[in-house]
Amino acid sequence: MIPRRLLIIGDSHTAAPRIALRETRARWPDFDHDVFAMPGGSLRALDLRDGVFLPASPEARKEMRFYNDVTALPLRSYDGFIVFGGLQFSSSASYLSRHRTSDLAAAPGRPRALMSGGFLDAVLMRRVSHSVGVHVAKALEELDQGPVLFMSAALPSDAVLGSAEAKWQDYRDLARRGDGPAYHQRFLTQLDRALGPGIRRLSQPAATISGEVFTAAEWMRGSFRMNPRRDVAHGEEDMIHTNPSYGALQIDAAMEAFAAL
């Protein structure tokens, strides 16, 4: 059943669905919604007390007010939740920059030491279970007042392959070795374990994926920052944020998931 009062919550990756809901609201007439967004570090610094998210630090309070015009977020009126962002697969590429498991490529270039699959799974589990997105989703699940959906940040833009930025080197190497799809699946397996059976993970829309571990650049051109008061576009150097067209697909996927519950 589609919730009547829906809360969308997360970090900067809420901008795409927020703007999609504003610009094409008639596409989803069956629910009311609020969007609550904060930078990841401050989002983590929220305490859930008696059904209310409250800032646990002065900085979190400041950013809660700046981005949302509130200093407390009561949750009791909502009967459904979607958490967007708070976790990126691309940041895990560095784990394989110097190591590999026996089922991953021993590509030419820098040697990579073998490690066990069990150890890699444990590293990934620690990464996802301590992420901001999973932290928020689990807190909402504990309320037991409506379904919780989770969609992590999109895969990086395929423009990364043509970028000279050093920060993308590990991810480029991962993709070029051919390890990306198997490693991504391993990451998702651990993410599903961390979320548990009570939280539904939404997959990235298949139509947006390029080369198995990238998002086609067309879904990222024209992305916007988290600023709630005016639309501020990202620069061309941004490779991780999606645009409102992608956001519309996210809301479509969420409505389909809610209807199936």
- Strands across the sheet with 52-55, in order? 46-49, 52-55, 73-74
Q: Where are the domains of the chain?
A: 5-260
Q: Over the range 6-26, which residues count as b (16 or more CB within 10 Å of their CB) and which as e?
A: bbbbbbbbbbbbbbbbeeeee
Q: Mean pLDDT across the stretch 44-71?
A: 96
Share of the chain above pLDDT 70, in %: 98
132-150 pLDDT, tens digit per residue, is 999 999 999 999 999 999 9
Q: How confident is the model at residue 19 (pLDDT cuts 50, 70, 90)?
A: very high
| Pair 120, 186: CB distance under 8 Å | yes
For residue 108, the model assigns a pLDDT of 62
Instruction: Give the N- to C-terminal CA distance of the chain in Å, as an integer.
Output: 6
pTM confidence score: 0.95
Q: Is 215 helix (H, G, I), strand (E, B) or coil?
A: strand
- Please determine, for residue 241, whether its predicted confidence score (pLDDT) is greater than 80: yes
User: What distance in Å separates the CA atoms of residue 117 and residue 103, rounded to the nearest whole number?
Assistant: 9
Per the listing, tokens 């190591």 go with 99
Phi, psi of 13 (to 5 degrees): -80, 0
Neighbours of 173 (CB within 10 A): 19
Q: Are strands 32-37 and 5-10 parallel, antiparallel or unpaired?
A: parallel
Quick: pLDDT tens for 97-108: 989 898 886 666
Which DSSP helix (H) or strand (E) runs through 7?
strand 5-10
Mean pLDDT of 45-51: 95
Instruction: Compute the mean pLDDT over every residue in the chain, rounded to the nearest whole number.
Output: 95
Residue among 241, 232, 233 nearest 153 (CA): 241
CATH number of 5-260: 3.40.50
